Structure 1
Amino acid sequence: MPGRWADKEMNLIYDFTIVLYALSIIGYFIDFLQNNRKANKFAFWLLSIVWVLQSVFFVMRIVEYNRFPILTPSEGLFFYAWILVTFSLIMNRFFRVDFFVFFTNLLGFMLLSIHLFAPSEQVSEVLSQQLVSELLIIHITMAFVSYGAFSLSFIFSVMYLIQHSMLKRKKWNKRLQRFGSLSQLDRLPFMLNMVGVPLLLLSLILGVIWAHLKVPDFSFFDAKVVSSFIVIAVYSTFLYQKTARGLQGKALAQWNAAAFLIVLINYFLSSAFTEFHFWYR
């Protein structure tokens, strides 16, 4: 009986979170169309409440499962969405790029919605005990944080391309000013990728060590492993182009936007073919 009540409470929290998230997105959309500062402020506070509710839901899951809930695709989507909300609030605090929060949370809302309709997977007690270790949890957490950094980097590059197009067509308006400067939109993806690349590399190193110790049939040619190294190679090329060759502007923004497609393939498609991440299928 207590378990049923706990499930009902968590479902209510989750449903309420989705509603508030949707209202927040609507507020940011109104601000995007009308440059409405009141709508922006209201949407920001709603988003802050969403973050609190997501955090409460996450903690309740930890208590219920007695583990860090990121082992299944559904749990991973929720954690990914939570990271995006967290990062967007932090970035909004330190970098005043108004529409960044709107675009970031469109992606976050999509992830949370997919999580809502995705089938709920359960990891068996035996498998959970086999999988859960400090090494694995750190590996997965670092991977998701790197995905979050790449996601924000992608959004800044898309904003750069939008603003570049508006400037080229000489569309001068208040909306253009609130995108932030081109130099800022060019610099922030570089900073985020400098965080994402080493995090993903360290995550892979930890994952390989864990797999070598725990997975008898581990192979470096597993789809997930190969695609993860491709992600690192693509983003490392971005960093090289920026630092060594001095490439910047539209060409680099297009490269960065295309690179994020590799991240999506790595996360969604390669998981269907992996033998290494066997609990993720």
Structure 2
Amino acid sequence: MELELLMTRLHEVTVLLYAISMLLYFMDFLNNDQKANKVAFWLLSIVWVLQTIFLFLYVWKTGRFPVLTIFEGLYFYAWVLVSLSLIINRLLRVDFTVFFTNVLGFMVMAIHTFAPVQIESQVLAQRLVSELLLIHITFAILSYGAFTLSFVFSLLYLIQYDLLKRKKWGKRLLRLGDLTKLEHMSYVLAVIGVPLLVVSLILGIQWAYIKVPGVSWLDMKIIGSFILLVGYSVFLYLKIRKQMYGRTLAFLNIGSFMIVLINFFLFGSLSTFHFWNT
């Protein structure tokens, strides 16, 4: 009991460090404060270390990878966002990517920490244990992580485009990165996300066919997942085959990400069998 209380307090400390990091990134965004940026980055790195430790402890405690319920899935999603943003920041030095990505990551982490669903979720997870299901959900969340970063790059593209159009020169303009680079990274991450989503859908359909007799293929979660796949497939088709680029493509990508959010939170709650309805 004392250990569980300690873990709860450590989770709350992690959220607090996350919040301070976001505040410092926001100060950097407003004032081009490099000192705040560096402190924020290292605080976020500490958050990542703590998240990783909690993830391994959860795996050790349950004997499985923690993605079977919304409680677990939200945590893994937040961990993926922090991990990807730190990697992108180190490889590409696009500073504001970390800020915008982790605004979303912090929201997810806060929902996970303070949502009172852990006990019920653990009980349900024991009934859902399946290697096929674990791989399906893991690939789905990884694809959502890629789509999230793709969305962030499109958002930064629109901000940069607006600054250039209004001739707002300054350090912020330089730190956002050039338009070509932002558009290219948005495309690359979508390219990564689509095959991950396809694999996830194939495995998920196979699991449902085996484990859920009489499953309705008109289930909202299934329909939402295929709508999501179509949305990003159209995005890639217009980019590759029609050579579309610029603001129109960025808005289409942002619209596709709205489907990600709807599918993740709303359609899961309307599903008749999917684990997100817990």
Q: TM-score range by the shorter chain?
A: over 0.9
State which drifts further: 45-54 or 68-77: 68-77
* Mapping for residues 79-90 of structure 1, pairs under 5 Å: 79-90=76-87
Residue 276 of structure 1, CA deviation: 2.7
**Equivalent of 2:267 in 265, 270, 274:** 270
**Are positions 1:94 and 2:86 aligned together?**
no
Unaligned runs of 5+ in 1: none
1: distance between equivalents of 2:276 and 2:125? 9
Residue 121 of structure 1, CA deviation: 3.4
Question: Aligned residue for 2:141?
Answer: 144
Residue 154 of structure 1, CA deviation: 0.5
Cα distance, 1:36–1:126 mapped onto 2, change above 3 Å: closer
Question: Aligned residue for 1:199?
Answer: 196
**SS at structure 2 position matched to 1:210:** helix
Question: Aligned residue for 1:55?
Answer: 52
Question: Aligned residue for 1:162?
Answer: 159
* Mapping for residues 3-42 of structure 1, pairs under 5 Å: 4-42=1-39
Cα distance, 1:250–1:272 mapped onto 2, change above 3 Å: same
One-letter amino acid of the counterpart of residue 167, structure 1: L
Query: Percent same amino acid among aligned pairs?
Result: 55
One-letter amino acid of the counterpart of residue 274, structure 1: S
Cα distance, 1:124–1:103 mapped onto 2, change above 3 Å: closer
State which drifts further: 89-98 or 55-64: 55-64
One-letter amino acid of the counterpart of residue 99, structure 1: F
Question: Aligned residue for 1:65?
Answer: 62
Is contact 1:150-1:260 (8 Å) kept?
A: yes
Question: Aligned residue for 1:45?
Answer: 42
Cα distance, 1:275–1:173 mapped onto 2, change above 3 Å: same
- Superposed CA deviations along residues 238-270 of structure 1, whole A, max 9, x for unmatched, are 000000000001110011011111111100110
Residue 63 of structure 1, CA deviation: 2.4
State which drifts further: 211-220 or 224-233: 211-220
- Superposed CA deviations along residues 160-208 of structure 1, whole A, max 9, x for unmatched, are 1011111111111111110000001110110000010110010010011
Question: Aligned residue for 2:72?
Answer: 75
2: distance between equivalents of 1:223 and 1:61? 30
State which drifts further: 65-74 or 187-196: 65-74
Residue 278 of structure 1, CA deviation: 5.0
**SS at structure 2 position matched to 1:119:** coil
Question: Aligned residue for 2:206?
Answer: 209
Aligned CA RMSD, in angstroms, stands at 1.5
2: distance between equivalents of 1:273 and 1:19? 32
* Mapping for residues 93-132 of structure 1, pairs under 5 Å: 93-122=90-119, 127-132=124-129
- Superposed CA deviations along residues 137-159 of structure 1, whole A, max 9, x for unmatched, are 11000000000000111111011
Residue 67 of structure 1, CA deviation: 2.4
Unaligned runs of 5+ in 2: none
TM-score (norm 1): 0.95
2: distance between equivalents of 1:162 and 1:126? 45
**Equivalent of 2:185 in 180, 184, 188:** 188
**Are positions 1:176 and 2:176 aligned together?**
no
